[in-house]
Structure 1
Amino acid sequence: MSSELDVMVLASQGANALVTEVVRGGWQAVRGAFASFLRRDGQATVDWQLGLIDQAEQAMADAGEAEREQVRQQFEERLLRQLAAYLDRYPEMGDELRAMLSSVDEGLVPQTPAVNAQNNTNSLVIQALGDIDGGTGGINYGVPGRRSEH
C-alpha cells in the first residue's frame, strides 16, 4: 500500500472516531488527547483546530433532525482533510494517532463527561452511562427523608 493511501486510511479512521465522539457527547473527554496529538503545529494552530471542532460540535447540536446528518458529513470530510494534511507533514505522528484511537476504543480515555448535579430541586437528572455516586447525602427521588424516632 502506498504511503499516501496509508495516510488517507489512518486519517479516515481518525476523523470517523473523533466525529463519533462529538456526536455521542464524548468530545470533551478526548479533547486533551487530541490537542496533545496536534502539538507539532504550535499552540495557536492547536487552539484554532480545537475551536473548529468545538464549533462543529455546537453546529451539530443546533442542527435540526433533517440537516444533522449533512452537518456531520461535512464536518467529517473537513476533519479528514485536516488530519491527512497533518499526517502528510508529520508522518511519524501516525503511530501516536493509532495509539490515541486505540485508547478511545479501549476506554482508556474517559468516554463520559463528569456529571455534577448539586442542589437541584424539582429537576430531572439523566445519566446514560457510568456510575452514580450519591455522596454523603445519598440520592433523594422526591420522597421525604426518614424521620428519626427519639
Structure 2
Amino acid sequence: MPLGKSILIVGFFTLFFINPVNSHDTKQLDKWLEHCPNNQFCFEHPVSLILANVQAIDSIAGQLENKNLILTYDLGRYASTFSELSSATSELIIIDGHHGRILIQQNKMALTIANVSGNTSFSMLIEFKNTIELDQGKRIFKSVKFKP
C-alpha cells in the first residue's frame, strides 16, 4: 500500500507543476485594462501602460507608454493617415463596424479609420521599442469600440 500512495503523491505533484496556471509564462499573467478617453471610445491595453500628459486642441488624443511600447491615439477631424509609413504592409480590417486599415512597418503598427462619424477620423499608432508584437497590437486594435 505505501507504494500506491507514493505513486499517487508523485502523480499529484507532477500534475501540479505542469499545470499552466503555475507556469511562469508572463503572457498568461498579463492583465489588461479598458481605457475610455472622454467616454467617446474605449480600448483595452496592458495594465503596464501609463497615461502620458498630452495636449490636444481639436480632438481626443492621448498617449500611453511602458518600457516596451508607446501607444498614441487620435479621434478627430485631423487624425493621422500615416503617410510617413510609405513602405508599410497594409491589411483591411473592420473595427466596431467601421472599415479601417492596419499598417505595419518595422517596429510600428498603425490603425486608421477614415470615417467614424461625420468628419471624424480615428488613428492609433503602436511603436514597439524592440521587436514588434503583432498579436498584442492586433488585440489592442480589435478592442476599440466607439460610443454613439
Larger relative CO (CA 8 A, sep 6+): 1 or 2?
A: 1
Flag the structure with higher helix content: 1
Task: Please state which structure has a larger fraction of its residues in strand.
Answer: 2
Give the TM-score band, short-chain normalised.
under 0.3
TM-score (norm. length: structure 1): 0.22
